[in-house]
Structure 1
Amino acid sequence: MNRSISSLLLSGAVAAGSLLAGCSTTEPAGAEDSSLSGTEFQVPVEYYKLDNGLKVVLSQDRTAPTVVVAVYYNIGFRIEPRDRTGFAHLFEHMMFQGSENLGKMEFVNLVQKNGGVLNGSTRFDFTNYFQIVPAHKLQTMLWAEADRMSGLAITQENLTNQQGVVKNEVKVNVLNQPYGGFPWLDMPQYANENWYNAHNFYGDLEDLDAATLEDVQQFFDTYYSPNNAVVVVVGDFETAEAKKHIQEYFGPIGSATLPEQPDISEPRQTAEKRFVKEDKLANKPALAVGYHMPERGTGEYYAMGLINQILLQGDDSWLHQELVQDRGLTGGVSGGINLLGNMFNYNGPMQWIANLFYDKETSADTVLEAIDTTIARLQNEPVPQELLELAMIKMRSDLYDNIGGFYGFGRADLLASFALFDDRPEKINEIEAEFRKVTPELIQKTAREYLQPRNRTILIIDPKAPAN
């Protein structure tokens, strides 16, 4: 499930056609050789850096005459300043308030009047901005992104305005909404111990009010620098021309001295946590279970990706069969790894989460017993090889849907994430091979180690209707 904190979804017309992953079969000159055994699928990747530290990823796709320009900054709400909760999200809104050569909302108008769409969002470990435009407007978008990277309009008027916008967004999406923030916003706060992973990412209203103009300027100067960012171009473009414009517009921007990254590690959980949250707007109970994930990139991490497919994804998943079809405890069960994106675009502690709504006549313990019974099937014996292959098929389907999604943006998202977190965007071509290393024995081992009650947090939403 993709869920953006940003309420800024600005739409226009997009050129007809779809950038489908897998249609590009040739790599541009200088691309990394990242061939996969057992599959012909390849994403073209060319990766380099400017002298100021800006990372650049180019990925050609001639399927349709469109391009995606995505700029990702290596700052998300996970490491925003203390006593400034929600600040990373607030700053995302500031980026649309004008720059050195574009006035307020002129960036938006520039994209829409050229037949494009754009958006921005704040996630755990990055803040991103992207545009999808007709291919001949690539130079314009590169210039516009560089313009706000080099000279954002930071004024008290803009700050005050966006503080109000964000506070209203919190009220509409969380405080005045039944099940607001459940479980994507709630679970990290209950499951984690480290403040960086456990604070209110959307922001406390007092913290949002306390943000000063100096805070904004310092945040921009520190984190919105080229050596803390990656520019990704996906679609129908000429490589030499794209490189020329990237150097022309981004090359002169000065780098910044980046602060030391805070420690975002989580202590190993040793006992089950259980919380009840009252919700006066809810009309029925809800329950979420969150299990701490293995470290990103390990064999167990990829095993959890396939366990997610077996247990949770689709009507054939074990939890759907047990909770919905066999016992009728709920009308549906959902969740996954990283509810604000996917299992590849985060870079820190994470939970695998399953969540559902159920009738008041049903007890939470009954639901938990059904979940535990289902998980025990994975723990008691290795899964059959044919079931593992089915999970691989579902995983590949999701992966390719993601890579080809939204006119090439899904591809840009993975390339940017792997560039930011691993300095290796070509890892996009290694994902399937890593999953294929997973064995039935590793599935069982991972389920036994990570899907234990001592490694999980249970969050129950208790509907408390006000007295008449």
Structure 2
Amino acid sequence: MLLLALAALPTLGWGQTPASTSSMQVPVTYYKLPNGLKVVLSPDKTAPTIAVGVYYNIGFRIEPKNRTGFAHLFEHMMFQGSENLGKMEFIQLVQKNGGILNGSTRFDFTNYFEVMPAHKLETALWAEADRMRGLKITQENLTNQQGVVKNEVKVNVLNQPYGGFPWLDMPQYANKNWYNAHNFYGDLKDLDSAKLGDVDAFFKTFYAPNNAVLVVSGDFEVPAARQMVDKYFSKIASSQLPPPPDLTEPKQTAEQRFVKEDKLAKKPAIAVAYKMPARNTPEYFAMGIIDQILVQGQDSRLYQQLVQTKGYTNSVSGGINFALGNMYDYNGPMLWMSNLIYDSTLAPDSIIAEYDKAIANLANVTNEDLQMALVKIRSGLYDAMGGNFGIGKVNLLACFALFDNDPNRINNLENEFKKVTPELIRRTVQNYLTPTNRTILIIDPKAPKA
């Protein structure tokens, strides 16, 4: 379902999280197997459960051209059976042992995870290694899952009012590089055209240990877990990975404005997006603070102006990597966006004027404003870490290992946000929250056909 240069490798072995002034203290053991598999172990004795996640460094952003939706389609294929587990048996294995499982496809990764009783850790590791080693790729399974994904597209996008707005739509309008701008859910004709050979080549290339990270969190002992990981994963062959595609976006120099017809929508809607600073820069962390001030919660400035003061709408939603993750779990060009539904008697420019006021008022941001935003960020981090039975923490550890080669970043995030000053906020606003860096998308129920 849908839902940068690497630093030098740390010394392999029993590395523990260094001392930090952050309140976040997640135990992390990080190492690599000889076949390239990154492994993150994070013991947590608060509940007798374990959470296992396998993240592959392949998302819909870098799927093959003329195969839109292929990464998502392949996610479904991974549940169709492997060498020792038949079709649907992986799901049954987890559920009959009292566990839950799922998978998702995002911009820069595809992930699979399960949460099970702690004594079933070896079972979970064996099952994940089994499908990494060899997937059952048959025409029957492919045809079946093409139908499933096509139906998902119809239900979630084509036959829904505001379907795909703005999370699926906005990247296609705001970006210019095909890898960032194509319909990653999949065009129906592209989904139909996927061949068995495409699936086999995709699996052998990208679903390999040297393109993945394994994360284990929960109630376990590190030495025992290391032995299990080595037993089941160390002999899986690595692959020859292709050079990563160039994801660079050209600099935007003028505001972009688009109108999209939606025959199912009852009211117009508007989404406003700005291209983000590069990940892990000071301005990136400043945008995290700005996001909290402008759009997160009913105390946010856009909510106060558009809902409480003007009455233009009853809610405002938005964020970084909005609706597809968070500001930590991507690795390429990204948008900060927000959206709302409004009454047809209202002119879109009236809404944009309120955005401009809220952004202009950031010039007056105070240290007290920053402290309030930091409290919300800290709360959000703890919510994310505890979410979905611990999979939220697995997600952060996996992405920091995949993209930064440093899962210990989880313990330093708060310190990075603490470095943000009012002056940095003002500089970030001047450089990024400008009309020339903005894309506006309007959903118009009465728009003429193209």
Please classify the TM superposition score into its range, dividing by the shorter chain length: over 0.9
Per the alignment, in what secondary structure is the counterpart of residue 244 of structure 2?
coil
Q: Return the offset for 1:393.
A: 0.6
Task: Determine which of 173, 197, 202 is the counterpart of 2:185.
Answer: 202
Aligned equivalent of 1:15:
none
Aligned equivalent of 1:61:
44
Q: Note the residue ranges of structure 2 that are not aligned, 5 or more in a row.
A: 4-12
Residues 1:460 and 2:442 aligned together: yes
CA contact (8 A) 1:282 1:464 kept: no
Superposition RMSD on alpha carbons, in Å? Answer: 1.3
Aligned equivalent of 1:398:
380
**Equivalent residues, number:** 439
Question: What percent of counterpart residues are identical?
Answer: 68
Aligned equivalent of 1:305:
288
CA contact (8 A) 1:382 1:443 kept: no
CA contact (8 A) 1:34 1:430 kept: no
Task: Determine which of 396, 405, 427 is the counterpart of 1:414.
Answer: 396
Aligned equivalent of 1:354:
338
The one-letter amino acid of 2:395's match is D
Equivalent runs, 1:224-239 vs 2, <5 Å: 224-239=207-222
Aligned equivalent of 1:122:
105
Q: Deviations over 1:355-386 (max 9, x none)?
A: 000001111111111111111111xx341111
TM-score (norm 1): 0.92
CA contact (8 A) 1:289 1:456 kept: yes
Q: Return the offset for 1:285.
A: 0.4
Per the alignment, in what secondary structure is the counterpart of residue 428 of structure 2?
helix
Aligned equivalent of 2:9:
none
The one-letter amino acid of 2:216's match is V
- In 1, the alpha carbon distance for the partners of 2:361 and 2:296 equals 17
Q: Deviations over 1:1-28 (max 9, x none)?
A: xxx615xxxxxxxxxxxxxxxxxxxxxx
Per the alignment, in what secondary structure is the counterpart of residue 101 of structure 2?
strand
Aligned equivalent of 1:333:
316
CA contact (8 A) 2:40 2:216 kept: yes
CA contact (8 A) 1:280 1:464 kept: yes
Q: Return the offset for 1:402.
A: 0.8
- In 2, the alpha carbon distance for the partners of 1:5 and 1:458 equals 24
Residues 1:175 and 2:172 aligned together: no
The one-letter amino acid of 1:354's match is S
The one-letter amino acid of 1:375's match is I
CA contact (8 A) 1:70 1:128 kept: yes
Q: Return the offset for 1:400.
A: 1.2
Q: Note the residue ranges of structure 1 that are not aligned, 5 or more in a row.
A: 7-28
Aligned equivalent of 1:295:
278
Residues 1:437 and 2:434 aligned together: no
CA contact (8 A) 1:35 1:429 kept: no
Q: Return the offset for 1:141.
A: 0.5
Aligned equivalent of 2:227:
244
CA contact (8 A) 2:138 2:196 kept: yes
Q: Deviations over 1:420-450 (max 9, x none)?
A: 0011111111100000000010011101111
The one-letter amino acid of 2:428's match is T
Equivalent runs, 1:358-397 vs 2, <5 Å: 358-378=342-362, 381-397=363-379
Aligned equivalent of 1:149:
132
Aligned equivalent of 1:33:
17
Per the alignment, in what secondary structure is the counterpart of residue 405 of structure 1?
helix
Aligned equivalent of 2:203:
220
CA contact (8 A) 2:287 2:428 kept: yes
Aligned equivalent of 1:26:
none
- In 1, the alpha carbon distance for the partners of 2:24 and 2:258 equals 45
Aligned equivalent of 1:256:
239
Aligned equivalent of 2:408:
426
Per the alignment, in what secondary structure is the counterpart of residue 35 of structure 2?
coil
CA contact (8 A) 1:281 1:465 kept: no
Aligned equivalent of 1:18:
none
CA contact (8 A) 1:193 1:267 kept: yes
TM-score (norm 2): 0.96
Residues 1:345 and 2:329 aligned together: yes
